[in-house]
Structure 1
Amino acid sequence: MTSHDDVRPSGCTPFEEELMNAMNRFANSAEAPDFDAPQILRRTRRRRTLGIAAVAAALIAAGGGTALATSVGGSSSSTPAATSTAAKSDATTMLYLFSDGDSVPIDFAGWSLDQAKTYMEKTQTKLGTVTKKAVKGCKPGSVLGVSPHAPKTVKKGDTVSFTVCAG
């Protein structure tokens, strides 16, 4: 049984009063955290900028490697030693002319029509007529010829027609 003699003037039991004192001591002794908001903002912006720069560098490196592989692969097919294959590859080679005057040979031999369409989107050229030709031993749907082909040049906005294997 409890008597009313143990009740404090504050209306709290000794346990409650001790608990309140402990919480007050803790709240008054803890230091408030010190945030440097401008420094946090600068660090966030710097990290974001570095991330964007890293992604851009990776894309440039991947694109540059692709362009280099295309130009190196195309130039090796036009060497004088490969005279018998040069005439054959010219029918499937598109010579793309950039606005700065540089040109890159793109050999579509063996490519599927879908791959050629994707590449044409990258060069911003238009797809002309697609003619199917029956040739023994070729893979159905693979490119057999382009028009216009090298040595004529094709630039952004030009139309290119394809001849593909009918099977």
Structure 2
Amino acid sequence: MTSYDSRPSGDSGYTPLEEELVRAMHGFAGAADVPRFDTDRVVRRSRRKRATAMAGGAAAVLLAIGGGTALATSVTRGPEPLNATSAATTGDRNHTTVLLGLPGGHSAPIRLAGNDETLAKAALAKGGLKIGFVKAACDGKPGSVIAVSPHAPTVVHKGDTVTVTLCAG
């Protein structure tokens, strides 16, 4: 056996195995292709990613603004139905919704389905409307709103009279 320390006494100072390995590495290094980068393509891709990110950010801002606007208009709407099943039993939801005319040609819905007389009166009075109540026989909860007149899509304005029909039981 030979030790790892011993070296042959030739011209190169390497063993035949070491010489073969060095030749193989030189051959591999000379044959390897140089990597190429398509810089124009990389730049286009990064610009596209940046534009997509900016569009996504803009969409998020618009959603936040739209959500704030929806929140602000929901405050002026008045009470929502307390009992969603009563709206379903009374038929079309528009029959229990009053469209209150606002400045600038806009309108805000006041949904009264399922509310009692006190809540309906408060919601309509907040919009400056005059209120009249009538009772009608129905299968729903006694005292709950089952219809309004005029109802959506008719727009009413401050000072107009709205007739609210309550369930007599």
TM-score with structure 1 length normalisation? 0.48
- Structure showing greater radius of gyration is 2
